[in-house]
Amino acid sequence: GAGVSQSPSNKVTEKGKDVELRCDPISGHTALYWYRQSLGQGLEFLIYFQGNSAPDKSGLPSDRFSAERTGGSVSTLTIQRTQQEDSAVYLCASSPVRTEAFFGQGTRLTVV
């Protein structure tokens, strides 16, 4: 079956531009997570969705970051006015409920 799909796989953007990252979770998975992985760092939690609601947004680094999920499925992470420190691999994962998380390939974001 299809896994978690993320697009684009790579994104290079100029500082100050907005970017949208997309995640298609595994069908039927109610939980969806966004993490980011910077070079040499571990996984940093960003946001958790249960269905369409986001009970935990505590990891979003600033108000430039926002995310939504529609139809209990696709999620979009938006970063406004990108900064160089936003450069990282953004990972999306979906999960039935607190069982294992299935990860996508990630979106490598480079802000120049």
Q: Site for another protein (CB under 8 A): which residue of 10, 38, 45, 83?
A: 45
What is the nearest approach in angstroms of another protein to the Cβ of residue 6?
9
Buried b / exposed e along 48-72 (16+ C-beta atoms within 10 A): bbeeeebeeeeebeeeebebebeeb
> From residue 53 to residue 82, what is the string marking binding to another protein with x (rule CB under 8 A)?
--xx--x-----------------------
Considering the rule CB under 8 A, would residue 103 count as an interface residue with another protein? yes
Tell me the helices (H) and strands (E) count for the chain, helix number first.
Answer: 0, 11
